[in-house]
Structure 1
């Protein structure tokens, strides 16, 4: 097995290779505006570090969000393209699950990423492998009672200390964590989610409702 994992649901453009036992190469850059520019070079770096070519990959793993529309679709479209070109399966993993797995906290906790618009994408976990709520998008003040007293990880939690006073890193997901979690679940025979995006809300760009109609003279 050789998993190629990637995620663009947060400001981190992150790629990793996992051989079924260990992460053998990874590349992560944080730049919220250059997902499209940075992702393929990151894949090339990871393959070069591992001394492998793309055709050695047996499975693709991609973070399905939740995340902003533009960044998230870069990773998903790239994963789908690799899967079609190589003829290998593409597996989805919730980006919040990857952060929870990397945090490795012992008890109940919250993962929250920055959703912009003064909101967070978030979910509660009983342990690093067990999510107990569906991913949601909310204003931090509106969920304060639901997360009170719980440790929290992620950039969203760090942005709002009044709601998440026990917040700490990691800030962003890494493809290494996604790959390790996916490899663990696949080894147990679990079915991973389809590689479909968790947008949770409509994109920022909208067609104007009252645009001017130009008619020929």
Structure 2
């Protein structure tokens, strides 16, 4: 099975992964991937970045079983760019499109990252329930709570970091608001305090869901509706006031 994943909830990123759902541990392979460091140039770099992943004639459509797009939560402009590209490619290429919460990508990365002592992996990075958080700007974070096995427990939410109860917190949101989180009894993992969701980690999380369910259809993916979590700043103008 081959999937294309796209995520623009923070950085612009895309990845192509190949795997056999019946033997994920031995067959999972990253065919190609790209990710920017910039969180504000999604529209300019995403389409060329996706094109660079394929050797197939892109106009004819590469051999894909599905496109999976990160639905956020994230800022309006970034999410819109990624979801629009994903929807366009799915329609043009005739490929099924699925959505997946972007915070799941960070949770999967936490789950896959061991804790090292003296150069040896000694334990998982998260030993119990944990939270992943990204920057929502306006002095707030997007966050969700997961079990130690990276299963979603609660969320997503948007709000002040101080709203998060005492727990391990991972991700760029944790790094930005480390003082507020520490004041509330949370533990910020310094080695994981700059991480953002990427399409590569979203793809790894998607592979696990597909392997566990045995099929794309049974994996419980979302549709591609964006999780903006806030009302749009743009408002339709009201009627003009009378001058007299």
TM-score higher than 0.5:
yes
**Alignment partner, residue 175 of structure 1:** 199
**Does the 8 Å contact 1:23/1:179 carry over to 2?**
no
**Alignment partner, residue 109 of structure 2:** 102
SS of residue paired to 2:54: helix
Question: Whose radius of gyration is greater, 1 or 2?
Answer: 2
**Alignment partner, residue 159 of structure 1:** 176
**Alignment partner, residue 119 of structure 2:** none
**Alignment partner, residue 210 of structure 2:** 186
Q: Please report the TM-score for the alignment, with normalisation by the length of structure 1.
A: 0.87
**Alignment partner, residue 7 of structure 1:** 7
What is the CA distance between 1:15 and its match in structure 2? Answer: 0.7
Deviation string 1:137-160 (CA, Å, 9 cap, x unpaired) is 01122x14x2x1x21111111111
Q: Distance in 1 between matches of 2:145 and 2:138?
A: 21
SS of residue paired to 1:33: coil
Deviation string 1:35-88 (CA, Å, 9 cap, x unpaired) is 00010111122225xx78542222101000001111101111111111111111
2:227 to 178, 181, 198: 198
Deviation string 1:130-177 (CA, Å, 9 cap, x unpaired) is 111020101122x14x2x1x2111111111112333324252012111
**Does the 8 Å contact 1:4/1:15 carry over to 2?**
yes
**Does the 8 Å contact 2:54/2:62 carry over to 1?**
no
2:100 to 93, 114, 119: 93
Give aligned pairs, total: 207
Matching of residues 1-217 of structure 1 within 5 Å: 1-10=1-10, 12-20=11-19, 21-48=28-55, 54-104=61-111, 105-141=126-162, 143-144=163-164, 146=165, 148=166, 150-165=167-182, 166-167=187-188, 168=190, 169=192, 171-187=195-211, 188=213, 189=215, 190-209=219-238
Q: Distance in 1 between matches of 2:238 and 2:132?
A: 36
- Report the aligned-residue RMSD: 2.1
SS of residue paired to 1:91: strand
Q: Please report the TM-score for the alignment, with normalisation by the length of structure 2.
A: 0.78
Q: Which runs of 5+ in 2 are unaligned?
A: 20-27, 112-125
Q: Distance in 2 between matches of 1:193 and 1:213?
A: 47
